Amino acid sequence: MRIRVMRLNETEKLALRKFKMTIEEVLGGNLVEVKLFGSKVRREARKDSDIDVLVIISSGDWHICDVVYGIATDILLETEVCISPKVINRKQYNYLYNILFRLTRLRRVRKP
């Protein structure tokens, strides 16, 4: 089965810009970074795929997650673009990044 490569269309780009601008305003200095991941980045998305977004914050609790999810929901209702945010703090991100980096290096070493 061949997977069709999808790129972000203009509506998706505008929705992502609005999402990022809104969380920058709401979270202020608590926002560290926003990163895309998932099928859209890998160019394996289908027509009905959502847009996976990693929101890295300096610190926070579940209240911040609720705020970010609310922003994504507002954008979905306004634009019909489904942004699926995953919110983690910087410490969690660094931990996961280091594990993935090590696993990637190990897999590369094992290949002939």
21: enclosing H helix or E strand: helix 10-27
Residue 106: per-residue pLDDT: 53
Q: What is the pLDDT of residues 63-78, one digit of tens each?
A: 999 999 999 999 999 9
The answer to the question of residue 1 being in a domain is no
For position 60, what pLDDT does the model report?
79
Q: In the chain, how many domains are there?
A: 1
Q: Establish if 48 belongs to a structural domain.
A: yes
Among 52, 48, 51, 45, which Cα is nearest to 4's? 45
- pLDDT, average across residues 8-31: 94
What value does the mean pLDDT take over residues 77-102?
91
CATH number at residue 31: 3.30.300.90
**C-alpha gyration radius of the chain:** 16
Does 2 fall in a domain?
Answer: no
Encode pLDDT of 37-62 as tens digits: 888 888 888 888 899 999 999 987 78
The H or E element that residue 41 is part of is: helix 39-42
Residue 55 lies in a domain: yes
The first and second tokens of residue 18, run together, are 């609005």
**99: in domain:** yes
For residue 103, give its domain range. Answer: 10-110
